[in-house]
Every structure is written in C-alpha cells, then in structure tokens.
Amino acid sequence: MDIIKIIGIGLISLVIIIIVKQYKPEFAVYVSLAASILILMLIFEKLSSIVGLLNNMASKTAINTTFITLLLKITGIAILTEFAVSICKDCRRNSNSK
C-alpha cells in the first residue's frame, strides 16, 4: 500500500512541476525537493526495518558490526550525493531555459 502512496506523490508532483515550470520555472525545484523529502519520510520506516534486519543478521554471524555500520554510512552518503547532483542538474536546466 505504501508503494501506491509513493507513486501517487510522484505523479502528483510531476503534474505540479510541469504546470509550475510554465509560469515560474525556479519554483519547480522547490516542488521537486518537497516531494522528494516527503517520499523519503515515507520510506524511512521501511529503511529502518532493513537496517535492523542487517544488524540482526550481523550479530548472528561472525561479521563485525563495524563493517555493517560503515557500509550503511557509505550507502547513505552515496544516495544523498546522487540526490544533490540531481537537484543541481535540475537547477542548471531551469537556469538555461530562461
């Protein structure tokens, strides 16, 4: 059921972005950012259960939990970096369309 909410938010924000781009292209980035934050908040609960499962599996095996923590931090940094790059690309496209 959560995936339907996420897809709905994505589609609604897409329509809003298309409409807003016609009149005020600089506000399209804000709509995109707000939708992204809302979607991240919805999937945060699922991500926390995945992290809990990984920690549980690591405690049952001979894997050091420090490695799991480091892997999760690296993955989080990579996701945030990709998100920031996408926002910068959108901003650059909006500034070139003026």
Q: What is the pLDDT of residues 11-64, one digit of tens each?
A: 999 899 999 988 888 888 899 889 988 988 888 888 888 888 888 888 888 878
Separation CA 98–CA 94 (nearest Å)? 7
Separation CA 31–CA 43 (nearest Å)? 19
> For the chain, what's the residue count?
98
Segments making up each domain of the chain, as ranges: 2-96
pTM of the model as a whole: 0.61
